[in-house]
A and B are shown apart, each in its own frame.
Chain A
């Protein structure tokens, strides 16, 4: 049985991928599900799993090479199989159209998959409970036979950052994208170019926020709350009150969301990525703090899975920590708006006829007026 190994679309927007490393060498035996290679997509480094078994007879794309999705990058076969015919088809780029398997898989509607590693053994009840409590089963150890996670393991586990509810009608952004830089560039043009923007900027009195943050952090030094977390929470609440801003432009219709999923721009070495805090309006400040910290960390390590950086209904870009007073953020299509947040600084404020110095931030709200 000869199985062609293709460069697969490992993110919703991936069109080509770079072979970071081959985990198997020519001649190694391979069983179904083995990780053949690590592939850098436009967003993250992902594992390419074997869809057949036998021996890795041929590697067609060396480490470091960038290959289009759908191209054959290797051949799995039994040792006695003749692979010359298969080899002859290499480089024809027929994979994508031939193999349905490499089509980008649509995210499953409803609950986002919790079990990233399908080999986590768990009882059905434990899985259900974990789902309800938003616990990532891959983060806890099972005490049942063979490491099976059973209900008592879940009951004693700490809830992981919320990682819930994909949008009721998740949709791909069909904008052509390659890797991260290209993505950002395209986003800029597709945002600033075709999308009519209007900009609203106002000063926000942060004095009470300042006090609140200080008070909260004095209560729990372990889990510190940032200004950004507070802004996330406030924006989430605002979006709930103003659902017309919590929407996607869908060319022929506007989709107003009932859930609030906020994208949070994170600067990484290669550029920018926006992990999404789901159902942010339903989460406590501490949950948001924990989740945003973890997502930012994972973003910097490029460990985000596609469902973690897609599906936002609004975004926030905060450059306050870089002492930027005010800037222009770019809408993340198809979202209808983004909030750019500048640094908090002491500003003279006229109040009751007196001039005082108070912490103020400049918030620039940009909205598509389509």
Chain B
């Protein structure tokens, strides 16, 4: 199986889906001539022409709306946001138009659209470019929210998202684009709403997604080496619909749970996971569920401050020791 980058996995998914279905097109800032701000769309303009790889003005609200309008009448747009920070300008379209059209039309008008781009912090990009929006979009009924952690998942999930008849918010990560992993050459898809156990373990369940999967893996390795604690890592992959069954199955085994996410703590994805776990597995818990999140501040520019604000393996390590009463 070839080893490719997360970036190329996404690129292959786009390419294959555009080859497969002529109604799929890619639209966004710098996706065409520039070959993508993060080169995810590299080579697509040459293969599919300007008709299907559409460079837009810098007008997130506008082109998000254009995508939704096109989806209302038969196309399957993939809208790229250069980063999800800019998509705040388009959130009215995503929430008020895309998420609600099917419902308020009494089931007449589905919106098969994917909004995708990198989210969360990269390195020293400061407050306005370093935000994780999973919980914002997951809050909204009518949207699906996907945040893959590996090249394999990125490709399989993006293909599924493009084929889905609902609006899908697809959150990637600048810091993940260069990460590598095995990806099969043959066509495959991964269903939305199915979490993946990235590491088997018996003492604690670490629930995470996207970038924090790597954080959890590093912590799990250290826990094993230094403390003989066996951590199970559950990668949510899809935030909405959220596969709580896989989480609960794991907690049934471990009786302890730590939830890691890149977003802010208040009303975060982890808060939702904690709610589900306490409801479904109250009697299985031997410790309060702990969360590791970004610090509850706008992200600072200073490198050291920024590092201390982000979720990191040390904080996951400490949280696990706490819930296993080993601190």
Contact = CB atoms under 8 A, between A and B. Distances in A.
A143 B287 CA distance: 12
B185 interface: no
B325 A127 contact: no
B283 A127 contact: yes
A126 B325 CA distance: 13
B283 A151 contact: no
A125 interface: yes
Interface residues of B, number: 8
A125 B284 contact: yes
Interface of B is mostly: loop
Interface in A186-245: none
Contacts of B287: 123, 144, 150
B325 A124 contact: no
Contacts, number: 26
A182 interface: no
Interface residues of A, number: 11
A128 interface: yes
Most A C-beta atoms less than 10 A away, residue of B282, B284, B286, B325: B286
B255 interface: yes
A150 B285 CA distance: 9
Nearest to B322: A145
A150 B286 contact: yes
Contacts of A126: 286
Interface string B265-295: 0000000000000000011111100000000
A258 interface: no
Nearest to A154: B286
Contacts of B255: 125, 151
Contact of B284 (A124, A144, A150): A124
A143 B283 CA distance: 19
A128 to B, nearest CB: 4
A125 B325 contact: no
A111 B286 CA distance: 21
Nearest to B285: A124
Nearest to A125: B286
A150 B325 contact: yes
A152 interface: yes
Contacts of B283: 124-125, 127-128
Contacts of A152: 325
Nearest to B278: A124
A45 to B, nearest CB: 34
Interface in B270-327: 282-287, 325
Given A125-B283, A151-B286, 17 more contacts: A123-B285, A123-B287, A124-B283, A124-B284, A125-B255, A125-B284, A125-B285, A126-B286, A127-B283, A128-B284, A143-B325, A144-B325, A150-B286, A150-B287, A150-B325, A151-B255, A152-B325
